[in-house]
Structure 1
């Protein structure tokens, strides 16, 4: 086995957002040893595998900041849906839904998005042991879900937590953070967390702040009440003193299309007083559990899984309802428990968020769906192909920054997210002219094109066309606390977003 790799002659796009340059990159063991011109002439290449990267881009391995991969990294450690996109690190435990610290043999919605029988880890240490045994191909960092904490500490979830219950949640969260979890997530949109007042989340966010973690939130509303929900999230994080990540920012439902013209200026305003970012997936459909309140008879709904009617998977809810001679909401009830893609967003809003300087890229893929949303296999190449190369909303360097350096900075991933000598050797080599997502709503499991090679911690882990992980060298990334939160974004940093600051 070679001790390293020399990537020669590629366009080095280092993840910082600066202009790419033609250079070589030398990987030795788990680190980037050198970056510069003509490294072959200046280094001993004994035991080094050389790769001709002329015509290709060499970039930091992509960081998927919004995943529900907690369980799948243990169950299917090759992680081909992500590795084949050039992803080398995933942030799991989003939307208040984490695999720990709770144990059950029959997880209810929305925890069942991670698989009903996956909840076997009462502590972070238990999960870390399982991770080591599975040896996944990708690096993984874990957020701890507020909803999971509620299930672990409360008998009834249709109310605010009592004092003793809240302190139990705080203790569980603090232990997970002490052992290496990187922060807290919430999903106030979902029924098991909707009754939680701001004060409940604030108490937990304060625990995160003391440990130097981050707080990511699926807002209480992404529809009519989105402005109020943004203020709630911003105030909670600001009062706690913790960096905020707004999950999969969108304006959902036809009545809200176009409102990113309101939400993005507000997010910019919040970012001037506190550390803040958001993530986005590049599609007009979201995906979650089947819920009648999301079925309005206007938008298309495509079933991704159904326990009582697996034959419905992949079909439009309207067609199923027509076959059954009932309303779409009645069909939705008959299909539960299940999941679906909801075509809730307008393309103009999606493009506006993807292009925003505070937006990171996350897939939000649901790997346990039997007919998943195509974002599971195609989100990152889709950004490079559709929004960067075809629509030219931003240059290649900015696209890579949204997928690597910006993500690592906001989630405090130590020495990752950029190509720098001495940093960890997570690297993707891809063809900017050819990279393309192939997954569709009809055929969601298609592998993307144009991803040439992927290195995880310095080891060659994926080669385009070989539908397997060549080596599995992922690590469980533990919290690396920064000495203080980064300064809030300045007006100059937000320049070019095309929006003015909003008034509350």
Structure 2
């Protein structure tokens, strides 16, 4: 009996000992550990409270740390902050900044949470891609970059800046260049069919070039032929883009979708129906949108008749000084000014003549004692001029923003606040203040959806094995500061930006490290 009691007691002690033992945690070593954040992974609707471990350039661990002992070289406490995939901007004009080593950090985009920019939009790309890809790799860039080949650039190389159709040999020449640019790393082709020389191309020409891109599993990004009533009209321009996708069998991405000017207001419902119908047909149609009611472009592009500028600026002024043509040019310019909402709606944001900046066309025309349409030619004769054009209404902006196939884009170029503030503005104005969309809609359609559209692999989602492009921002202070009186103010509220596993922004300040890469298809 005594031996039996001893055996029972021993077994009980062993049982208690085993019950109290906790599983031994396995050590996991990472470079960066993000803890305590409100994590939106780029796909899910609801956030989670998990830790993220980064090792080298990849996401190495995601979880609650209950089963692993995570040893990190650097720990980031993200308490009260939102952790998200880095934003992907599908339409920028960051090319010039990336080309210059003094601005290649790409701070206007970096400080609003953008970790990847697309360049070569609107049919204009720096040519050849191989040259600029090598430049970026040698000098370093602050954000990742996706390169497109511009249709207008290619057309200018082969056909020139002439208002005529390309012949068969010229189309073959353009196809050859596009194939070389795709081989060099372009993700697809961009068109600027509103701008010269792209506006001189027929739909058939564009389809013939788009088919080369389709053969290379690329995408088609387009500034539509018309966003108002300049030529064929907004809805026919949407239908043209869809037809290009239908015949060339490649994804169609409409850049900065909008209803521009009084002739096109309230057409968003019709456009949405047309695009949804095309999507049901199996045509992959998507769009991006910047969260502002003013567009921006050159004064020449916004109001001067396209036919009049065929051949370039010298040809434009030759025609303008020709009495038989001047009256027609002025009349069409006057009509185009009205389409933009009037001369008081065209604000000069960048000009060689600095005294014009901050004034609208009506004010300058009075200053020059000219009609607004005459003042246009006085102004552009002095050099390139950019305008912000106040020509959209909230109804259309809201309608487009709520579509699952519309993602955030900036169209960021000098002089308009969208270059410095698009993503935080969308969050602050349309998520927080107006509640037009949810925070998960904003994040998902600024990250994973954009990566899917652009065919960017292993980015846009917080997932083990994906590249570590991660941002952390303060939900209370994340907002844009740039406006139309001062378009060069960095956004606030971004606490951290991690690009390819390296810290680019730390506690709200840029680290001056060039962590970006030219992305490959």
Query: Do they superpose with TM above 0.5?
Result: yes
Q: How does 1:354-369 map to 2 (within 5 A)?
A: 354-366=401-413, 369=414
Check if 1:198 corresponds to 2:242.
Answer: no
| Equivalent of residue 516 in structure 2, options 463, 470, 474 | 474
| 1:295-326 deviation line (CA, Å, top 9, x unaligned) | 2226511112223x232123222211121111
Q: CA deviation at 1:431?
A: 1.4
Aligned pair count reads: 448
Distance 1:43 1:74, change over 3 A: farther
* Structure 2 partner of 1:330: 374
Write the distance in 1 (CA, Å) between the matches of 2:125 and 2:46: 38
Pair 1:303-2:351 in alignment: no
Q: Work out which of the residue numbers 498, 501, 507 in structure 2 matches 1:455.
A: 498
Deviation of 1:464 (Å): 4.8
CA RMSD, Structure 1 to Structure 2 (Å): 1.5
| Residue of 38, 42, 46 corresponding to 2:65 | 38
Any conservation in 2 of the 1:304–1:341 contact (CA below 8 Å)?
Answer: yes
The separation in 2 between residues aligned to 1:3 and 1:442, in whole angstroms, is: 45
Structure 2 unaligned spans of 5+: 1-28, 304-332
Deviation at 1:261, TM superposition (A): 1.6
CA deviation vs aligned residue, 1:48-84 (integer Å, no higher than 9, x gap): 2001101111000000111111221121111110000
Structure 1 position 181 matched with structure 2 position 168:
no
1:419-451 Cα offsets, whole Å, 9 max, x none, are 000000001101122211111000111121211
| Distance in 1 of aligned mates of 2:111 and 2:507 | 7
Q: In the alignment, which residue of structure 2 is the partner of 1:286?
A: 295
How much does 1:17 deviate? 3.9
Q: TM-score, normalised by structure 2?
A: 0.83
Q: TM-score, normalised by structure 1?
A: 0.86
Deviation for aligned residue 1:355:
1.9
Tell me the CA shift for residue 199 of structure 1: 0.7
Task: Return the offset for 1:283.
Answer: 0.3
Q: Does 1:70 align with 2:95?
A: yes
Distance in 1 between residues matched to 2:193 and 2:186, nearest whole Å? 20
Residue in structure 1 matching 2:85, options 60, 76, 85: 60
Aligned-pair CA distance for 1:44: 4.2
Cα distance in 2, alignment partners of residues 12 and 299 from structure 1: 45
Q: Distance in 2 between matches of 1:198 and 1:176?
A: 21
Contact 2:343 2:372 in 1 (8 A): no
- Distance change >3 Å, CA 299–CA 38, structure 1 → 2: farther
Deviation for aligned residue 1:155: 3.4
1:259 counterpart residue number: 267
Q: Which has the higher helix share?
A: 2
Instruction: Indicate if the aligned counterparts of 1:137 and 1:469 stay in contact, CA closer than 8 A.
Output: no
Check the 8 A contact 2:458/2:467 in 1, yes or no.
yes
**Structure 1 residues 156 and 470: alpha-carbon distance in aligned structure 2, compared to 1, 3 A threshold:** closer
* 8 Å CA contact retained: 2:36, 2:50: yes
Counterparts of residues 226-245 of structure 1 (less than 5 Å): 226-245=234-253
The superposition leaves residues 257-307 of structure 1 with CA deviations (integer Å, 9 ceiling, x where unpaired) of: 111121111111112221121000000101111133442226511112223
1:269 maps to 2:277:
yes
**1:499 corresponding residue in structure 2:** none
Structure 1 unmatched runs, 5+: 101-122, 480-504
Identify the match of residue 345 of structure 1 among 386, 392, 397: 392
Distance 2:169 2:69 in 1: 61
Looking at structure 2, the residues matched to 128 and 202 of structure 1 have their Cα atoms a distance apart, in angstroms, of 27
1:79 alignment counterpart: 106
Alpha-carbon distance, 1:141 to partner: 0.5
User: Is residue 17–residue 398 contact of structure 1 (8 Å, CA) maintained in 2?
Assistant: no
8 Å contact kept, 2:86–2:114: yes
1:424 alignment counterpart: 467
- Deviations along 1:446-465, one digit per CA (max 9) or x if unpaired, are 12121111011010001354
Match in the other structure for 1:500: none
